[in-house]
Amino acid sequence: MQDSTTSKEKILKKIRKALIHKSTQEIGDVDKTSEIFSSSEEPLEIQFATNFSALNGKFVFCENEQEFIESFDFIAKDNEWENIFCLEPKIKELLHKGNIKFSDQEADLLKTDIGLTLCECLVARTGSVVVSSKQLSGRRVPFYSNFHIVVAYTSQLVANTNDSLKFIKEKYNNQLPSMISTITGPSRTADIEKTLVQGAHGPREIFVFLIDDIHVL
């Protein structure tokens, strides 16, 4: 008589047997602290730029704040950007220096195209931008804008996600924000007929202007 046992039944029998006859072998402590990824010898800014760009992010390196003003002004004019919105005093000061028009009025937020924010830190290994609810831009500006412009500094670069949490804990003296989020490239979805759509539930594009505040002469 031919064996009619299906592959599924065979697998279920093995699972039942394993549950009944449990192994007596002791399992050692799980190492939760060691790195599971091989470390890179590349500088963090190079790692971030490579991984962020691979996710369709737009990366611009600036040697100083003056170069940021010039680069942003050029890109804004080249792309004919209008309705620029910013709440961050540090960025507003730079925009004022460059005579770049923007709004910081709450009433203009819903119609903004270009939203400028700072960030908590940048994760080099994943090319991610970490933002939180304790920033003045909060949860809104990064998600209402068609183009999200992040202004960051090289002193905010960290190697991996664990380092980003340590960075934030130290910054806020363990008083963590109510919301911490990572932005890894422009928003995208393939829910509609399995066709990749970029900017479906957030910015169509994300720019990171990285200003060097470490290697200052």
**pLDDT tens, position by position, 169-208:** 999 998 899 999 999 877 555 455 555 455 455 678 999 9
Distance between CA atoms of residues 51 and 185, nearest Å: 10
**Token pair in block for residue 199:** 């900017």
Q: Are 63 and 212 in contact (CB under 8 A)?
A: yes
When comparing pLDDT for 148 and 140, which is higher?
A: 148
Q: Where are the alpha helices (DSSP H) in 79-144?
A: 89-97, 141-144
Which residue from 174, 171, 98 is spatially nearest to 131, judged by alpha carbons?
A: 171
> Structural domains in the chain?
46-211 (3.40.50.10420)
Compute the CA torsion angle 138, 128, 80, 99 (nearest 10 deg). Answer: 60
Confidence of residue 151 (pLDDT cuts 50, 70, 90): very high
Please calculate the CA angle 94-110-206 and round it to the nearest 5 degrees: 55
Whether 209 has a pLDDT exceeding 50, the answer reads yes
Q: What is the pTM of this model?
A: 0.78
d(CA 6, CA 11): 9
Mean pLDDT of 114-135: 95
In this predicted structure, which of 45-54, 61-70, 101-110, 180-189 has the lowest mean pLDDT? Answer: 180-189
Nearest-angstrom CA–CA distance, 95 and 103: 11
Phi, psi of 197 (to 5 degrees): -120, 125
Please tell me the distance from the alpha carbon of residue 69 to that of residue 52, in angstroms, as a whole number: 22
Distance between CA atoms of residues 152 and 134, nearest Å = 16
Distance CA 128, CA 185 (A): 7
pLDDT at 19: 75
Q: Are strands 205-211 and 147-153 parallel, antiparallel or unpaired?
A: parallel
Radius of gyration of the chain (CA): 23
Higher pLDDT among residues 106 and 95, named by residue: 95
Residue 25 confidence class, pLDDT cut points 50, 70, 90: low
Tokens of 137: 């831009």
Whether 92 and 126 have beta carbons less than 8 Å apart is answered as: no
- Per-residue pLDDT at 129 exceeds 80: yes
Residue 62: helix, strand or coil by DSSP? strand
